[in-house]
Amino acid sequence: MAKRKATFDHGPFGTKHNSLFRPGPAMRLNACVGRNREPAGFDRYASGYFEAGARLVASLKENSVSVDSLIYPLVMLYRHGIETALKHLVRVLPSLCDDDAEVKLTHNLIDNWKIARRYLAELDAGDEGLDEVEAILKDFVELDPRGDAFRYPEDIKGKRLLQDTSLINVEVFGERMELVAKHLEGCCYWADHLEEAKAEGLRWELEMEQDHARDMADYYGDESW
């Protein structure tokens, strides 16, 4: 008997798939993307990269086979997680500080971190842990300033990268990255909470103004209120 092809009801969501990106019969392994869930922001991307990095560290601690090869995607996962978390913060924090200035980010982690930290300080987020996070980020960019040292074996001019470094311990690296990830994810959650609270406050003020206008209109019999 021919195997029956699985069918899926995509409802109002996107139906663009191909032989590579498509649903499969194991439902628990079908990841929801695009419109099939609330919109994914930089924070969800960051959390995904951080968790993938943590899982890879845990796997290598259990079985260190290919550690010399897996160190490269491991570092890239955490770097991209840091970069996307900072992008989320710099998108959310300025409006909380009533700052309408356009903020332009770069691929330099320290530059982006300093922007985020400035807004965090303005919002009285507290300095606990910030100095340690900054120290770790400085260590990160000391070895990989442009984000290419673990992405390619050489730079655009053909110069070999990582020639002055010989050993990187996955456990040590993972522990430091876990600290940074937890702190940045905590900042993202806190900033999102403040944003929601501010939006709710603005809605409340608008509703109060509308109620007041209706009361005045009823009292004076004037619809212009």
What does the pLDDT look like over 111-169, one tens digit per residue?
Answer: 899 999 999 988 876 677 899 999 999 999 999 999 999 999 999 999 999 999 999 99
Identify the pLDDT of residue 206. 46
User: pLDDT at residue 44 above 60?
Assistant: yes
Average pLDDT over residues 179-202: 86
Domain presence at residue 2: no
Residue 171 · residue 57 · CB < 8 Å: yes
Domain presence at residue 19: no
Domain presence at residue 122: yes
| Distance between CA atoms of residues 191 and 70, nearest Å | 33
Domain presence at residue 26: no
Instruction: Determine which of 20-24, 151-155, 213-217 has the lowest per-residue pLDDT on average.
Output: 213-217
Which residue range(s) make up the domain with 163?
Answer: 37-195
What sign has the CA pseudo-torsion 178, 183, 184, 190?
positive
Average pLDDT of the chain is: 86
| Distance between CA atoms of residues 223 and 67, nearest Å | 74
Model pLDDT for residues 8-19, shown as the tens digit of each residue: 566 667 788 999
Q: What is the number of structural domains in the chain?
A: 1
* Residue 154: φ, ψ to 5°: -145, 160
Domain presence at residue 152: yes
Tokens representing 115? 């922007």
Domain presence at residue 170: yes
Domain presence at residue 3: no
Identify the pLDDT of residue 136. 97
Label residue 106 by pLDDT band (50, 70, 90).
Answer: confident
Domain presence at residue 28: no
b/e 36-67 (16+ beta carbons within 10 angstroms → b):
eeeeebbbebbbbbbebbbebbeebeeeeeee
